[in-house]
Chains A and B, each alone.
Chain A
């Protein structure tokens, strides 16, 4: 029967015989059952992971996740086209889904109480909104189709970073992606076909409120009445069955990201990587069941968007590490070992060729699934975690697996000797602890011992600034500037140890604890108001890692202290330098601790003309030294990231100075400029050198 022409509404199951409706309900029930089964298998998988408390402040977590998801802010960051397309699809999908729910509510629930929502003005508004969002939905999908098949961005190249693992190809993932996209497209298109052919059967005037459907119906008006009825019936069934297929396929495919990503954003730890978790009862991760449920969820949350893959310095250097590959390999292995909810990738892609042991749960993940060389390639720069739009915490998984490697002594000789030296002498240079403050010799003023005299600032110097001859010169400059500015500071002298920041990220947890305990004991024995450090790595440990060991001190980077003094007017510069310079944000200052303004304020104050590199502030590019890489054999890097970074600076054109604010950066980039042979074009300087130069009076 056609709808009444006077009251705007439509008959649900219009054109369908009662037996057809029964068949549809049975099919729908089956689809939901398959969905529930697949969903339950996922939950069961996560429950096999280790417990981890992530349910604190649940309200705030939900609020934060809702803002991120509905606003799609993280998805659009750094990828406007893909991001906006995703936003359109998400909102289109959401509105159409809610629309379908209203239909179901109306037809399956309210009808029995004699109520009806979908009539009159409500129906007209409903029709208009769904029609418009359907178009947005299709527009987003078409943009994605163009992006994937024509533009093919580098991030979507699934070629593996580790060619040794050829057995694990990515074809199943690609097929799964294509099915996802085409299924949604077909559902959208057939939806409009159903609507158009329904409207075409009577062309009621009020259906103008479904502008797309009405226009299409108008175009179809030439069809015979039978064609319209048959066409409607066919397209209805195709549309309906595709939707049910979608529902059933969700938990076995990429579509599951709707749920896993939402959950991952709720349970994400905003401080992931900045302060690492203690190891489980075992020393590091060995079995797949050592991962926490959140980490297992991380693996499933990955949509292969490739942002981490592109941002990763280890990948840019040509090592075997790609954070994306790592997460996907762990996902595939977790699915193999703990049940296989992913159907296509599992069946035709990776897992069918996965080199598993007879008992997958007994495989050593940190040696057999992810190769040690791959795990050691990580610089712990946190770019992957920062880039990930769905809150995956790659770094904690990497460090936990490294802990297992350390426990098994699977580490290269250079790293071993650095760790031995750190254990024996508290520094990685193999030098006596007594020589730690030797760099202060030759300063025209004595440097206080904070263990003996109360000071305002305790300067935590760090290994490189204490022992590396190139950086010692910078340390003396910092001391001179602070002294000149009347800052009351002192050192721990030979009681200072390496902060353990990178030791912890290497995975040597016991050594980190030992170093931290020794430092904390020394710090407690000194009297000071705040800690100031020239080393961003120490800064992170003192600020983010030590509080968990019961030591909470106010910590400043020296650029913060200088910026403060400049703002207060107690530090002013007789000279304005006018240099054209670019600034390299240290990972541990900018990305880890969100401090990007202070160094820039100092540069402004000394009159430097700052030209930013494309990757700056929290999106800075790692020099390649972090996470213990500076102690390792790095011959697996085909293109050093420090050299890539210098090239990025050279590409800015007329820039003479490359400014650093981290001792490791200074060492790395000095080397890079030398090996690229561009010292005459670009000079690596530390921020303090600019400050020192601006403080010289003009007559000098």
Chain B
């Protein structure tokens, strides 16, 4: 089966996050970007599936400075094709990104599409859901342990409370990968550098979709809390202290 992996590039938190002048967004120029950790797991799972079952792995990323490095790294790890999706604002929202990936995927043959289950700028894990809905195919999220069995895809989906379900799905399908079966592999720098010299990335230009993401007017820095009070002592002591706090808080209202 052929696998497509759209990856997201997210700010590298090793640098301090800065807001732009009007306070509506991060100051993207001051940041460096790297592959979203969950997307790295999606890529690893795709490569593992390819090694076990054959087929091909195509990786897609929206164009930005670090996209080349991320895509060449994916090729160095063993992906067969890397596509840079151009023509849209690099700091776009998830819905716009989903539209762009959908358009780029028109030229890609795939049976299974793996996304990272979430990203720092997509905590709800919308990318996979949106892509599935735009492509009109099913979607399963919080996925691990994917395997191909004949024409079907078997996988584990994690629910809240430690419940794990086993699914069998027929392709095409979008899977939001929670974790790969092993930690993402290391891409030797010499391979990446050699590919940068010798290989080239496919570029697919998409029409910039009308920005359907919500407009952000103001971003706030998180305010530091006052810290927590740890309750200790016997159950009775703790209960009494909680009652006291609740009453005091109600009183304050």
B121 at interface by CB-CB < 8 Å: no
Report A483-521 residues with CB < 8 Å from chain B CB.
508-511, 513-514
B186 within 8 A of A: yes
By the criterion CB–CB under 8 Å, are B186 and A419 in contact? yes
CA distance A513 to B191 in the complex (A): 12
A510–B14 touching, CB < 8 Å: no
| Residue A434 is within 8 A (CB to CB) of chain B in the complex | yes
* A212 to B163 alpha-carbon distance, docked (Å): 92
Q: A48 near B: Cβ within 8 Å?
A: no
Asked, given contacts A424-B12, A424-B34, whether A513 binds B186 with beta carbons under 8 Å apart, the answer is no
B186 to A424, Cβ gap below 8 A? no
Complex: A416 Cα to B15 Cα, angstroms: 21
Measured between beta carbons, the chain B residues less than 8 angstroms from A409 are 185-188
**Stretch touching chain B among A330-338, A425-433, A612-620:** A425-433
Let me know if B140 is at the binding interface, CB within 8 A.
no
Asked if residues A510 and B186 are in contact (CB atoms below 8 Å), the reply is no
* Interchain CA distance A424-B192 in the complex, whole Å: 13
* B190 adjacent to chain A (CB < 8 Å): yes
Across-interface contacts of B53 in A (CB, < 8 A): none
The majority secondary structure among interface residues of chain B is loop
Given A424-B14, A432-B14, verify A411-B186 contact (CB < 8 Å).
yes
Instruction: Tell me the bound Cα distance from A406 to B191 in angstroms.
Output: 11
**Residue of A at shortest CB range from B34?**
A424
Whether the Cβ atoms of A407 and B189 lie closer than 8 Å is no
B190 touches A509 (CB 8 A): yes
Interface residues of B in 166-185 (CB under 8 A from A): 183, 185
Interface check A283, CB cutoff 8 A: yes
Contact of B241 with A by CB under 8 A:
no
Residue B193 at the chain A interface, CB threshold 8 Å: yes
Chain A residue, CB-CB nearest to B183:
A413
Q: Is the CB of A510 within 8 A of B15?
A: no
Q: How far, in Å, is B14 (CB) from chain A's closest CB?
A: 5
Choose from B183, B191, B193 the contact partner of A407 (Cβ within 8 Å). B191
- When the two chains form their complex, are residues A510 and B190 in contact, meaning their CB atoms are under 8 A apart? yes
- Within 1-60 of B, Cβ neighbours of A (below 8 Å) are at 12, 14-16, 34
Distance in angstroms between the alpha carbons of A508 and B192 in the assembled complex: 12
Known contacts A407-B191, A424-B34, A510-B192: does B15 contact A434 (CB below 8 Å)? Answer: yes
Within 8 A of B (CB), among A400-424: 406-407, 409, 411, 413, 416, 419-420, 423-424
Give every chain A residue within 8 A of B15 (Cβ-Cβ). Answer: 432, 434
List residues of chain B with CB within 8 A of the CB of A420: 186
Contact A283 B188, CB 8 Å, known A424-B34, A510-B193, A514-B193: yes
A662 to chain B, nearest CB (A): 26
**0 or 1 for each of A348-378: is its CB under 8 Å from B? (1 = yes):** 0000000000000000000000000000000
Instruction: With both chains docked as a complex, state the minimum distance between the C-beta of B173 and any C-beta of chain A, in angstroms.
Output: 28
Question: Out of A283, A406, A431, A432, which one reaches B186, CB within 8 Å?
Answer: A406
Residue-wise, chain A 521-553 has the 8 Å CB interface mask toward B (1 for contact) of 000000000000000000000000000000000
Chain B residues closer than 8 Å to A416, beta-carbon distance:
183, 186
Query: If A424-B34, A514-B193 touch, does A508 touch B14 (CB 8 Å cutoff)?
Result: no
Expressed in whole angstroms, the minimum distance between the Cβ of A437 and any Cβ of chain B is 16
Determine whether the beta carbon of B34 is less than 8 Å from that of A407. Answer: no
Chain B proximity of A296: nearest CB distance (Å): 25
A283 near B190 with CB under 8 A, answer yes
Distance between B11 CB and nearest chain A CB, rounded to angstroms: 12
Cα A407 to Cα B16 in complex, Å, equals: 33
- Smallest beta-carbon distance B236→chain A, Å: 42
Whether A431 pairs with B14 at a CB distance below 8 angstroms is yes
- Which residue of chain A is the closest to B12 with respect to CB atoms? A424
Give every chain A residue within 8 A of B193 (Cβ-Cβ). 510, 513-514
Q: Distance (Å) between the CB of A66 and the closest chain B CB?
A: 41
**CA gap between A425 and B191 in the complex, in Å:** 19
Distance in Å: Cβ of B195 to nearest Cβ of chain A = 11
B26–chain A nearest beta-carbon distance, Å:
16
The answer for the CA separation of A78 and B70 in the assembled complex, in Å, is: 53
Complex CA gap A283/B16 in Å reads 37
Interface residue ranges of B108-122 to A (CB < 8 Å): none
- B190: nearest residue on chain A (CB-CB)? A510
Of the candidates B16, B34, B185, B191, the one whose C-beta lies within 8 Å of that of A510 is B191
Q: Please state if B12 and A510 are interface contacts (CB–CB under 8 Å).
A: no
Q: Contacts of A279 on B, CB cut-off 8 Å?
A: 190
Residues of A within 8 A of B16 (CB): 432
CA distance A406 to B187 in the complex (A): 8
Question: With A and B bound together, what is the CA distance between A117 and B143 in angstroms?
Answer: 92
For A507, give the chain B residue with the smallest CB separation.
B188
Are B190 and A513 within 8 A (Cβ)? yes
Would you give the shortest CB distance from B38 to chain A, in whole angstroms? 16
Instruction: List the A side residues contacting B187 at CB < 8 Å.
Output: 409
Q: In the complex, A420 Cα to B186 Cα: how many Å?
A: 8
* Residues in B whose Cβ lies below 8 Å from that of A508: 188-190
| Cβ–Cβ contact B189 & A510, under 8 A | yes
Top-5 shortest CB links A-B: A510-B190, A510-B189, A511-B189, A409-B185, A416-B186
Question: Could you pull out 23 A-B pairs where Cβ atoms are within 8 angstroms?
Answer: A283-B188, A283-B190, A406-B186, A406-B188, A411-B186, A413-B183, A416-B183, A419-B186, A420-B186, A424-B12, A425-B14, A432-B14, A508-B188, A508-B189, A509-B190, A510-B190, A510-B192, A510-B193, A510-B194, A511-B188, A511-B189, A513-B190, A514-B193
In addition to A432-B14, A510-B190, 13 A-B residue pairs with Cβ atoms within 8 Å of each other are A283-B190, A283-B191, A406-B186, A407-B191, A413-B183, A419-B186, A423-B189, A424-B12, A424-B14, A434-B15, A509-B190, A511-B188, A513-B193
